[in-house]
Amino acid sequence: MKPQDIISGKSSLWIFGYGSLVWKPDFKYKRSEVGHIKGYKRRFWHGDNFHRGSDELPGRVVTLIEDDDAATWGVAFEVSGSQVEESLKYLNVRETVCGGYVTKMVDFFPDGENEPPVSALVYIATSDNTLYLGPASPEEIGAQIAMCRGKTGHNLEYLVRLAEFMRNSCPHVEDRHLFSIEAAALTVVSYLLAAQ
């Protein structure tokens, strides 16, 4: 896939989502496929002071961390023609300007028998990013998510929608990091509700 072929409309572009993009792409696309990329693990190690948090109380959202033994499941969206420029302009604001993510090309493996991999664009927040928060225990991350909200909504919605996607669309994948944080966040919420 050459950039000039995408620009000329001769070939389409695939965009891989693994966080809010799996349940809220918010751009027009031709078709989508559930699948995975290799060599990365999904971690709630990126801060968010816009969509799901604030400068005072930054939320936590996901990024990808290189790990040769790992795979990350999500959804890839195929965009073609005018959808290419429209989606990239939109995602540049949502992901890069507001979120601090940078772009990379990876191989996406659609779920299903013998489907060949396709090259896909992915947005990754690297550790040199000013919003990067890094590792913490599921309890610490869960508590932070339970307490944060931003201009797009509550950080809990971001977490639970992603966990729901994995349970519904990737039931064969055991994402201990995601589900342990979800359990911890919901425990904090239950205490807050009981204290009311």
The region of 12-20, 65-73, 134-142, 176-184 touching ligand GSH under the rule CB under 6 A is 12-20
Question: What values do phi and psi take at 155, rounded to 5?
Answer: -65, -30
H/E stretch holding 33:
strand 31-48
Task: Compose the 90-129 pattern: x for residues touching ligand GSH by CB under 6 A, - for all others.
Answer: ----xx---x-x---------------------x------
Question: Cβ-closest residue to ligand GSH?
Answer: 19
Q: Which burial class, exposed, middle or buried, applies to 69 when counting CB atoms under 10 A from its CB (0-12, 13-18, 19+)?
A: exposed
Report angle CA 125, 178, 102 to the nearest 5 degrees.
Answer: 10
Query: Which of 61, 50, 15, 55 is closest to 35 using CA atoms?
Result: 15
Cβ proximity to ligand GSH, 9 vs 57, nearer residue = 57
Tokens of 146: 């339970």
Q: Is 73 in the site for ligand GSH (CB under 6 A)?
A: no
User: What string marks each residue from 14 to 33 as x (binds ligand GSH by CB under 6 A) or -?
Assistant: ---xxxxx--x---------
Q: Out of 12, 83, 144, 152, which residue is the one contacting ligand GSH (CB under 6 A)?
A: 152
By CB under 6 A, tell whether 163 contacts ligand GSH: no
Three-class SS state of 152: coil
Which chain residues interact with ligand GSH by CB under 6 A?
Answer: 17-21, 24, 48, 51-52, 61-62, 94-95, 99, 101, 123, 152, 158
